[in-house]
Amino acid sequence: MYSCGIDIGSVSTEAVILKDSDIDEKNFEICSYIIGRTGSDIKTASENIFNDALSMAKIKKEDIRNIIATGYGRKNVSLADRNITEITCHASGVLSVFPEVKTIIDIGGQDSKVIKIDRLTKKPIDFLMNDKCAAGTGRFLEVMAKALDIELEAFGKIFADTNERIEITSTCTVFAESEIVSLIGHGVDKRKIVKGLLYSVADRIISMVSRLGIEEPVALTGGVAKNSGIVGAIEEKLDTRLLIPFEPQITGALGAAALALKIAKSE
């Protein structure tokens, strides 16, 4: 039996196809996964990514018993059988990789969220979401990378190789961008600006985590978990090692697919 999860985020769309299996306690194996850009047309993005995931798994749409959509665009995925919130899907996806996790931090393109997991039920008991402001999100980092004319992928190495930092005082994306442009104009070393930016994003995330109360182990997911500079800054400030899934950007879709399989089996 196959299932599919589709996560329509503000920046990226992912599809994961699972097949039921009794090899381990997860009861599934991953047949394929695809990560693509969402763009302006959710319907087309979801269809293209779904079709790519089908071809990669070498199966047809009719082979899939249940399709669940999640993410901010979940209600616009007409090929899905149902949709489930991001909090539930992320929790399910992360717990399938790290069953011991107590706190999940997901940093995506337009929002960041913290989810607390109940140690007995293994279900989300509380969460906080920052979706009103771009600061502390992947989009903030994308805007700053552009202003600095440095690839986002280079931020991790800069974080590791640079000792000093320039404090970025503006928290608003627009003001922070002007601040950076002005610092560059004054000839400040861009690497020190990057280091300051990474700590400022880490501070925003940690203040959100602290409001919920941090409980270890902590997992980090979302595309921003691929930015080793952010990982390093958060780990340093929280003084803990973060658990990062093998592909941190697909956990929402993975959780949706795992729930789709569970529902299909119980029907």
- By the criterion CB under 6 A, which residues form the site for ligand ATP? 9-12, 71-72, 108-111, 138-139, 141-142, 152-153, 222-224, 226-227, 249
Task: Give the ranges where the chain is alpha helix by DSSP (H).
Answer: 42-57, 86-97, 138-148, 155-161, 173-185, 190-212, 228-238, 251-266
The residue (of 196 and 222) whose beta carbon lies closer to Mg ion is 222
| Angstrom distance (rounded) from CA 204 to CA 61 | 42
Compute CA distances 19 → 32, 57, 63, 79, 112, whole Å.
10, 10, 10, 19, 30
The residue (of 36 and 217) whose beta carbon lies closer to ligand ATP is 36
72 binds, among ligand ATP, Mg ion, none (CB under 5 to 8 A by kind): ligand ATP
Compute CA distances 12 → 8, 52, 199, whole Å.
7, 15, 24
10 binds, among ligand ATP, Mg ion, none (CB under 5 to 8 A by kind): ligand ATP
CB of 119 to ligand ATP, least distance (A): 26
The residue (of 108 and 124) whose beta carbon lies closer to ligand ATP is 108
Half-sphere exposure of 24 (CA within 13 A, CB side): 6
The residue (of 73 and 108) whose beta carbon lies closer to Mg ion is 108
CB of 134 to ligand ATP, least distance (A): 10
CB of 230 to ligand ATP, least distance (A): 8
- Contact residues for Mg ion, defined by CB under 5 A: 9, 108
| Angstrom distance (rounded) from CA 99 to CA 105 | 15
CB of 112 to ligand ATP, least distance (A): 7
